[in-house]
Structure 1
Amino acid sequence: MRDLPSKLQGQLSIRRAERARLIETGLVQQGISDPAVLAAINQVPREFFVDPEFKDKAYHNRALPIASGQTISQPYIVALMAEALQLTPHFRLLEIGTGSGYAAAVYAQLVDQVFTIERHDFLVNLSRSRLEELQIENVSVRCGDGSFGWPEAAPFDAISIAAATEDIPKQLLNQLTIGGKLVAPIGDQQSNQSLICFKRTEGGFEKKDLGSVRFVPLISDADEDLPSD
């Protein structure tokens, strides 16, 4: 687990009770049990990643609006995705949908390198500045269409998609190592979405349904289909 700058440790202490309440009632009581994931959520100051008018709600277990019509994910969902990916310190992780950078900051506590892609220039610059302020140095942020992944950095041990899609682009599936896992919300804005964990095997992909979710849509130029069962 990486240490935050000393100037921020005091601010973390101020909101220690809020974070502890979130972790106990919003994560542990909802089934999150991985000690490393719980420690990572506890380490990252979520108030740094929400818009100023929502700082008093930073430790509420809910998604919040951010710039460019996007949202910062509910802490429980970030923890659920991290736990499903079974992250270990040597992993290289690709995230699609950086947003304000919160999930990337959490993943950065758990893996060796995070590569994260965001379509909106404003959010790219915002997330970079926040990660730099927290001195989180193992995250690379790129502006672009996440459906194409990050080919020159592939393969990845884990891929997290923070936007809903009906079909996962083959480029992303192909950038996953054998044995690696990809977590994504599957569905559209008009129907129910399910958070699905895909594990790549020698012969294809195994799937596990993690429950109902609601994400903003993945905007993609790709038109690739998920491999058939």
Structure 2
Amino acid sequence: MRVPLRWVLWDVKDTLLKVRSSVGEQYCKEAERMGLSLSPVEVDAAFRQAYRRYSSRYPNYGITQGLDGQSWWMGVVRDTFSQCRVQDPTLLNTLAQNLYHNFCNAENWEVFPDSRKALESCSSLGLKLGVVSNFDCRLEAILRVCGLRSYFSFLITSEEAGVAKPNPVIFDQALQKCGAAPAGVAHVGDHYVNDYLCSRSVGIHGILLDRHNKQNQPDVPREHRLGSLEELLSCLQQHVD
């Protein structure tokens, strides 16, 4: 017997919204305010190195190692600029503090053109919506300034949950908030492992958003894949195997 769909859970970054310009450009803009002239390409490369290093050494914002989202990100920023020959500790701390708060501003984020309509369509069908995101505690403020917070009954971030996708425990926490069986829940996200495989591992109906047609995993049936959120409604209506 088919269980009716009651909830749709959502990933956020690169699913509903994205960073508006490159990290290198945004970091250089803040550095320029501090009197520094740096190359966005160099800063972008340094950021990727710092981000990988911190993600490996301090996974999920280092919360099991005494860090939190803010201290983790400030470390990434300081490390990034240090690689670009900025050595003054006071200046590094100021840059880190400012950039951490800057990313709560709407101008740093771009909501995809199909996001609001997809959320509204789900709500019009009587589906309840929640968020499951590998993000820090700024997510609520970001969704609010981007005009998306009101669509969701709850948010679960990996910082607050204490675990990150692809650990299925974060989806177990979401199911508890939904008060629904996994068969009555779908999840939409752009990451094959974190979103699609992880949600399906606990019985949720994972749907993979592949905006650029770059994900070629043969184990994802066509009916579980979206090229854009405009396809979501028809997918939900015929979803579920």
TM-score (norm 2): 0.31
Structure with greater helix percent: 2
Structure with greater strand percent: 1
Task: Give the number of the structure whose alpha-carbon radius of gyration is greater.
Answer: 2
Bigger relative contact order (CA 8 A; separation at least 6): 2
